[in-house]
């Protein structure tokens, strides 16, 4: 029989008070019971609320709430089980940790299953939050809402928001809004004509239908047990790490330590498994803001804004950006990936 794990004690443990029954459990059986009580109580309720909030307001995610919630529970069980050993990093705010795990699980699911929509959502979110006449705010329920900030504008028609959601293409035509406008201008024009703030995901769904943005079929989830030789480009390994905020911080801290040209050659070309720009993922995490990305690339904000929708850049574009040859860019990126691999792997 496997011996019970010794309980963790000590007045200096920074862990959340809600974890005391687990940390002070005298046996594995008692610890399992404590975990079940956490997941069956406040922790489980919060995880369910977050998953429903993130998925139910989008047409592409509502059907998968229970599947994602099961994944969240598994992640939480693994983390909680590790807390009784010295290798388990303490959780200072349990509810905040649960919220992050649940949000990340939802985002990871949507990114894998619906890569085109997820990339489009990232573009919409960035455009709304950076345009001088629009804003993105989070309400008390945790939902992101988009609205115009124009002080002077044409009075919107009553019910305009619902009309837009019911028939977005017809509404755009009736409102004489050109759907071929650049995305920031299109969003500005739409939000200026709506009669109330609109949920980000409902805005994304409506515009995706108009612009023909859809995933032909859910992307096949990659098997984490697949041999390393099946991974042609090392970049997806980095993007997988970005799905967790704690891993994101570790990866980002190593990236900013790279020599400037290596860092730029890597970041401007870094792609997720579906070919999208990994940089588009970062602002939404709340861990790496646009200012941090601009600083890592040694660019001013407007310069990064001008490049944003063009990412990821090909080697020739990066070479022109750095005043180098294409081969030099390839060599810089190769050196950056090799250093990251060594640093993230840690001591043997």
Tell me the pLDDT tens digit for each residue of 168-196.
999 999 999 999 999 999 999 999 999 99
Kindly report which listed range (204-208, 214-218, 277-281) carries the lowest average pLDDT score: 214-218
pLDDT of residue 343: 80
| CATH 1.10.1740 segments of the chain | 17-113
Nearest to 51 by CA among 4, 93, 104: 104
Q: What is the pLDDT of residue 329?
A: 93
What is the architecture of the domain spanning 17-113? Orthogonal Bundle (1.10)
- Name the strands in the sheet holding 198-199, side by side, starting at the edge strand that comes first in the sequence: 134-138, 144-148, 198-199
As a whole-number percent, the residues of the chain with pLDDT over 70 amount to 80
User: Minimal CA–CA distance to 7: which of 92, 79, 87, 83?
Assistant: 83
Please report the pLDDT score of residue 270 as a whole number: 87
**Predicted pLDDT at 238:** 42
What CA dihedral angle connects 198, 199, 202 and 206, to 10 degrees?
A: 30
DSSP state of 146: E
133-to-1, 98, 186 alpha-carbon distances in Å:
65, 34, 12
- Which range among 81-95, 123-137, 239-253, 288-302 shows the weakest confidence by mean pLDDT? 239-253
Is pLDDT of 132 > 80? yes
- Can you name the residues that pair with 145 across neighbouring β-strands? 137, 199
pLDDT given for residue 286 in this prediction: 58
171 DSSP β-pair partners: none
Q: What is the mean pLDDT of the chain?
A: 80
> Is residue 239 scored above 60 in pLDDT?
no
* Euclidean distance between CA atoms 159 and 223, whole angstroms: 47
Distance of CA 213 to the CA centre of its chain: 19
- What's the pLDDT band for 5 if we cut at 50, 70, 90? very low
pLDDT value of residue 6: 47
Is the per-residue pLDDT at 198 higher than 90?
Answer: yes
Sign for the pseudo-dihedral over CA of 298, 302, 303, 305: positive
More confident residue, 286 or 263: 263
| Predicted confidence band of residue 310 (pLDDT cuts 50, 70, 90) | confident
């Amino acid at each position: 029989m496997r011996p019970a794990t010794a309980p963790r004690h000590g007045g200096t443990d920074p862990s959340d008070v809600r974890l005391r029954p687990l940390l002070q459990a005298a046996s594995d059986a008692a610890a399992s019971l404590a975990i079940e009580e956490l997941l069956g109580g406040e922790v489980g309720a919060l995880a369910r609320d977050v998953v429903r909030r993130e998925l139910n307001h989008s047409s592409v995610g509502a059907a998968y709430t229970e599947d994602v919630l099961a994944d969240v529970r598994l992640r939480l069980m693994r983390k909680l089980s590790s807390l009784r050993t010295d290798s388990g990093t303490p959780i200072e705010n349990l509810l905040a940790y649960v919220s992050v795990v649940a949000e990340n699980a939802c985002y990871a699911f949507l990114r894998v299953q619906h890569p085109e929509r997820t990339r489009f959502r990232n573009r919409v979110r960035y455009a709304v939050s950076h345009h001088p006449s629009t804003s993105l705010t989070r309400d008390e329920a945790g939902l992101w809402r988009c609205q115009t900030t124009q002080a002077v504008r044409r009075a919107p028609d009553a019910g305009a928001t619902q009309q837009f959601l019911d028939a977005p293409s017809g509404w755009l035509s009736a409102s004489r809004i050109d759907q071929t406008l650049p995305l920031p201008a299109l969003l500005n024009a739409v939000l200026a004509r709506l009669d109330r703030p609109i949920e980000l995901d409902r805005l994304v769904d409506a515009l995706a239908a108009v612009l023909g943005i859809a995933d032909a079929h859910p992307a096949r989830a990659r098997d984490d047990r697949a041999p390393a030789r099946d991974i042609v480009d090392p970049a997806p390994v980095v993007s997988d790490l970005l799905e967790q905020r704690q891993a994101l911080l570790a990866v980002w801290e190593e990236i900013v330590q790279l020599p400037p040209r290596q860092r730029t050659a890597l970041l401007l070309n870094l792609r997720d498994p579906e070919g999208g720009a990994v940089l588009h993922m970062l602002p939404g995490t709340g861990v790496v803001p646009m200012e941090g990305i601009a600083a890592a690339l040694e660019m001013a904000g407007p310069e990064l804004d001008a490049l944003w929708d063009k990412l990821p850049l090909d080697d020739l574009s990066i070479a022109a950006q750095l005043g180098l040859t294409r081969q030099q860019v390839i060599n810089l990126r190769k050196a950056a990936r090799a250093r990251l691999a060594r640093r993230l792997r840690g001591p043997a």
